[in-house]
Amino acid sequence: MAATRQSDNFDGQFYQPAEQFFPANSRLALTFDDITLATLYSEILPRDTQLDTTLAEGLHLNIPVISSDMDTVTESRMAIAMALNGGLGLIHYNMPERQQLSEVSRVKNHVHGLIQEPIKVSPGQSIGDVLALIEQKKFGFSTFPVVDEKGKLVGLLSGHVVKPRYAKKKVSEALTPRSQVHTVKNKELGKDPIARADKFFTEHIGIHKLLVVDDHDHLSGLITMSDVERITQERNAQFKPARDARFHLLCGAAVSATRNAFGELDRARILNHVGALVERGVDIVAVSTAHGHSKGVGDTVKVLRDAFPKLPIIAGNVTSAAAVEFLAGCGANAIKVGQGPGSICTTRIVAGVGIPQMTALYVCSRAAAKKKVTILADGGITKSGDIVKALTLSQAVICGGIFAGCNEAPGEVVEISGKLYKQYRGMGSFAAMKAGSAARYGHLPNPTQKVAPEGVEALKEACGAVDRVLAQLIGGIQSGMGYLGAANLSQLRDKARYTRVSPAGMREAAPHDVVELKTGN
Ligand code: XMP
């Protein structure tokens, strides 16, 4: 039975909703560990909670977690892993523009059932040529459609004949001829090509590849049984991969407010680059800077909004209501909140600015609600409990440090005194700015020693696959929602009640007075 009205009132003197709690604490900026959430009567089991969230119209994630656009966190491998788990990766911009385009393409072309441009071979090649191609491109497969010079299907070169012993044979001698190859016409695929292919594979024992052709028998696609099985499994998973309407994984990319040699915004270059990202299928761009409440960022967002009316845009970073209103007015859909909370940030120390994260989120969230934009809590998250707290005021969180030690983060694993680490550095660190991110911190592209870095270079302990890390985080978020009786993130935002935590309370919150043998996981 729900609590009585009288005890509700009594609790309310101690545990307050955001609207009372944050204004009552307006003279002291608070962060995650300064507060705790009060539990509420619940009929919600953690495993039944829904974590889907909407960042902008038409852009939905199945979990509210985004990997940060940092050069030691998110390239295509991380973005693929994030999207497969229902979240999103923002590809960083500390690389040549062309490389960022290829990174986005890799994510968008990752297994999505129908491979629209399958790798093919020609009848005149030798098996040796095909083996060399596999070696050179590091393909993990060895079955190829065979087409003539006009793209017409001639047959299928099956993996079991692509062996060194047949190296001198021609593909034409080894292929399975067209008459024996299973195909489906484009127009027969219907609205759900995966369901169509799934049925086909069940009906054709031992066949693992289905080729797609047009009316003139030109090869136009390939569907493999392993992809279909993976996708069918996904459909039954609680947190499905984050995909677009065409079944491609979602992918975001960061862009900077690039300036030309005269210090003016380089509109042409920004438009060209974002145009190319859109062509590659990017789902959202993030205008990422340390100071989002600035003319350069506002103008960049406006230029992009005018040129790409439907493109979801993230902009930031900010910590004030005025800044949220400004960026929303320029056309941003989602605003990154966080100045100086990051694990590698030194902005507060170097520049003396920035606001502890929970207060910043409260202030920004109220302006965001008025302007109908979303808030992304960016930085400072070290544990799942921080995410639960952040999600009481935001639509998603952006994490860097939590993912920097994962296998999917860029960079090598290094061993120091028997322990494994990966490099993690701030985008405002001297090394990252030298590699290209200086514009994000308002410095010239080639920073000299005079520039004050606002981030450090550090190491994170290697922590395995993103799947594992996310499973722990998601488990924690669902637990928190269960304690608050929140079936979804909107209810979490409505139900949250806060109280301050004393330093002794903080010590009480972590394991204490024990000799710890093993951490929770
Ligand atoms: P976490 O705590 O997840 O923070 O490691 C990642 C976020 O920190 C921001 N970031 C920086 N902030 N100097 C800063 O003040 C930096 O060098 C820097 N690099 C990244 C960024 O918002 C990121 O998502």
Ligand 1 near 339 CB (within 6 A): no
In the DSSP assignment, the letter for residue 328 is: H
DSSP labels, 133-173? HHHHHT-S---EEEE-TTSBEEEEE-GGG-SGGGTTSBHHH
CA distances from 375 to 161, 314, 371, 484, 487 (A): 55, 9, 11, 21, 20
Give nearest CA residue, ligand 1 atom 15: 345
Q: Report the pLDDT value the prediction gives residue 193, as an integer from 0 to 100.
A: 83
Contacts of 318 (CB under 8 A, 6+ apart): 292, 293, 324, 327, 335, 336, 337, 339, 364
Q: Where are the alpha helices (DSSP H) in 237-356?
A: 267-279, 295-307, 321-330, 347-350
DSSP 3-state of 19:
helix
In 10 A of CB 329, how many CB atoms? 13
Do 298 and 327 contact (CB within 8 A), yes or no?
yes
Q: Which atom of ligand 1 is nearest to the CA of 341?
A: 2
Q: Report the pLDDT value the prediction gives residue 124, as an integer from 0 to 100.
A: 96
Q: Torsions phi, psi of 485, nearest 5?
A: 65, 35
Do 285 and 100 contact (CB within 8 A), yes or no?
no
Expressed in angstroms and rounded, the spacing between residue 315 Cα and the centre of ligand 1 is: 15
- Alpha-carbon distance 183 to 189, whole Å? 11
Two tokens, residue 264: 């003016």
Contacts of 220 (CB under 8 A, 6+ apart): 116, 186, 212, 213, 214
Q: Residue 422 pairs with which residues in a beta bridge?
A: 413, 460
Give the position of tokens 């101690």. 14
Burial of residue 45 (number of CB atoms within 10 Å: 0-12, 13-18, 19+): exposed
Two tokens, residue 237: 């998973």
Q: Report the pLDDT value the prediction gives residue 451, as an integer from 0 to 100.
A: 75
Q: Report the pLDDT value the prediction gives residue 441, as an integer from 0 to 100.
A: 67
Q: Report the pLDDT value the prediction gives residue 187, as an integer from 0 to 100.
A: 86
> Which residue type does 327 have?
L
Two tokens, residue 370: 């008025």
**Rounded-to-10 torsion of CA 27, 31, 35, 36:** 160
The pTM of this model reads: 0.84
Tens place of pLDDT per residue across the chain (521 aa): 455 577 778 999 999 999 999 999 999 999 999 999 999 999 999 999 999 999 999 999 999 999 999 999 999 999 999 999 999 999 999 999 999 999 999 999 886 677 777 899 999 999 999 999 998 877 888 999 999 999 999 999 999 999 999 999 999 999 999 999 999 998 888 777 888 899 999 999 999 999 999 999 999 889 999 888 888 877 777 888 999 988 889 999 999 998 888 889 999 999 999 999 999 999 999 999 999 999 999 999 999 999 999 999 999 999 999 999 999 999 999 999 999 999 999 999 999 999 999 999 999 999 999 999 999 999 999 999 999 999 999 999 999 999 999 999 999 899 999 999 999 999 999 899 888 766 666 666 554 445 789 999 999 999 999 999 999 999 999 999 999 999 999 999 999 999 999 999 999 999 998 988 876 55
Q: Torsions phi, psi of 187, nearest 5?
A: -70, -15
Ligand 1 near 241 CB (within 6 A): no
Exactly one of 345, 364, 399, 406 is catalytic; name it.
Answer: 345
Expressed in angstroms and rounded, the spacing between residue 231 Cα and the centre of ligand 1 is: 34
Tell me the torsion sign for CA atoms 494, 499, 503, 507. negative
DSSP labels, 363-430? HHHHHHHHHT-EEEEES---SHHHHHHHHTT-SEEEESHHHHTBTTSSS-EEEETTEEEEEEE-TTSH
Q: Report the pLDDT value the prediction gives residue 168, as an integer from 0 to 100.
A: 96
Q: Report the pLDDT value the prediction gives residue 112, as an integer from 0 to 100.
A: 65
Q: How many residues does the chain have?
A: 521
Q: Report the pLDDT value the prediction gives residue 111, as an integer from 0 to 100.
A: 65
Contacts of 422 (CB under 8 A, 6+ apart): 72, 404, 405, 406, 409, 411, 412, 413, 414, 459, 460, 462
Ligand 1 near 317 CB (within 6 A): yes
Ligand 1 near 340 CB (within 6 A): yes
**Active-site residue 259, yes or no?**
no
